[in-house]
Chains A and B, each alone.
Chain A
Amino acid sequence: MQTDDLIRSLAVDLAPVKRNMVGRRIAFGILGGAVVTVVMIMLGLGIRPDLSTAILGSSFWMKWGYTISLGVGAIAATIHLSRPDARRVRWPWLLLVPFGLLTILSAGELIRTPRSEWMALLQGESWRVCPLLVLLLSIPILLGLLWSFRRLAPTSLRLAGAAAGLASGASAATLYCLHCPEASATFVLVWYTLGMGLAALVGTLIGPRFMRW
């Protein structure tokens, strides 16, 4: 095809583009996946029966504080990396701040607890399944994000994949809190982080393959 013909065909039926389309598209992808994740939790795992009282407690907000702050950071990084002219930025290390704060909480918890009960804090009731459930619940959200990226233009595909994976993992972990009754910071620090890390790893591995354009 001649280049002039191509230009003519591209300019035909030109649809206007709203401002901030990147943010909207990423929000749609995450919300679309999150709906599926919530359904999976409600049908497969069940909402924790004491949710209405738990939501008033500090351990619930310790968990949400951790997963939501990581999610916000990861979504911001995903939006940033979805533009071709994204420059290297200095703020990704901010993602370590929630991790650091939770580590402090966990250390305080361990100091206050006799050594014989440390394993109980670490393992809770559900350490075997928690990371895998977070990973499983992140899949619909990651798929939603891959849909978002079909119109976006990342140039470092591994990094964009990692950010999208972490965003889906942190969103899934946030929703998983609606089910999970665990209350110890040590548990969250180890198993939630592992689940979200696995989701980020999946994103890193599939990014170069599914985010090409």
Chain B
Amino acid sequence: MRASEDQLRIMMIGGLEGDAGAYSALLAALVPLLRSFFGRRLRGADDDVEDLVQETLMAVHTRRATYDRDRPFTAWAYAVARYKMVDHFRRTRQHVPIEGLEDILMAEGFEDACNARMDVKRLLGGISAKQAQAIRDTRIEGLSVAEAATRGNVSEADVKVSVHRGLKALAARLKGEG
């Protein structure tokens, strides 16, 4: 399954804090995204695609300090990939028009990356505070049910019920809005 903006961002933040497991999971999750990103734009040059995927992974690694934890991760990662591709075309002396970052995010299905957090905030504002907190803890910040229960000073069953009811309420609201 394809990783979402929130999952990637949480793994990246884990990596920045020194969690090697989260970090290698992040890089592994980036590989299919990068392969399809470069594959579609370098039709047929499979060796080049794999080279660019590896170069981008290395750049993500050496430049990871430039990722700002408060900003969307996919926008940052595709900006790195885009730069590597521009550099590749410059080296091979090809002149290829390359879309802007906004269009790339759109084409790769991350058009929500820029306003995703605002939407989440707005949606969570519409359900009870307890349910919103439980969803934020377990689904966005990536805490386990047990950790969320300790943090909120409630039982684990309480957290599970809150998440379940909260998500149901959110789904109902989304349907109503759509």
Contact = CB atoms under 8 A, between A and B. Distances in A.
Whether A associates with B in a native complex is yes
Interface in A1-57: 1, 3-4, 6-8, 10-12, 14-17, 19, 21-22, 25
Contact of A82 (B18, B66, B71): B66
A84 B63 contact: yes
B57 A7 contact: yes
B71 A7 contact: no
Contacts of B16: 16-17
Q: Taking chain B's interface residues, is the majority helix, strand, or loop, or is none over half, making it mixed?
A: helix
Q: Taking chain A's interface residues, is the majority helix, strand, or loop, or is none over half, making it mixed?
A: loop
B24 interface: yes
A136 B61 CA distance: 35
A153 B101 contact: no
B20 interface: yes
Contacts, number: 87
Interface pairs A-B: 7 shortest CB-CB: A16-B18, A84-B79, A21-B65, A11-B24, A153-B63, A85-B79, A7-B27
Nearest to A88: B100
B51 to A, nearest CB: 10
Contacts of B69: 19
Interface stretch (B80-88, B129-137, B146-154): B80-88
A16 B59 CA distance: 16
Contacts of B19: 14
Contacts of B17: 16-17
19 contacts: A3-B31, A3-B54, A3-B57, A6-B57, A10-B23, A10-B24, A11-B20, A14-B15, A14-B19, A14-B20, A15-B18, A16-B16, A21-B66, A83-B67, A84-B63, A84-B82, A151-B66, A153-B63, A155-B82
Interface of A: 1, 3-4, 6-8, 10-12, 14-17, 19, 21-22, 25, 82-85, 87, 151-153, 155, 212-213
B101 A85 contact: yes
Nearest to B53: A3
B63 A151 contact: yes
A60 to B, nearest CB: 37
B62 interface: yes
Contacts of B18: 14-16
B66 A212 contact: no
B66 A153 contact: yes
A213 B63 contact: yes
Contact of B75 (A7, A25, A85): A85
B54 A1 contact: yes
Q: Which of A8, A17, A19, A151 has the most CB of B within 10 A?
A: A17
A11 B20 CA distance: 5
B161 interface: no
Contact of A10 (B57, B72, B86): B57
B76 interface: yes
Contacts of B101: 85, 87
Contact of B50 (A3, A14, A87): A3
B63 A152 contact: yes
B35 to A, nearest CB: 9
Given A6-B57, A7-B27, A151 B83 contact: no
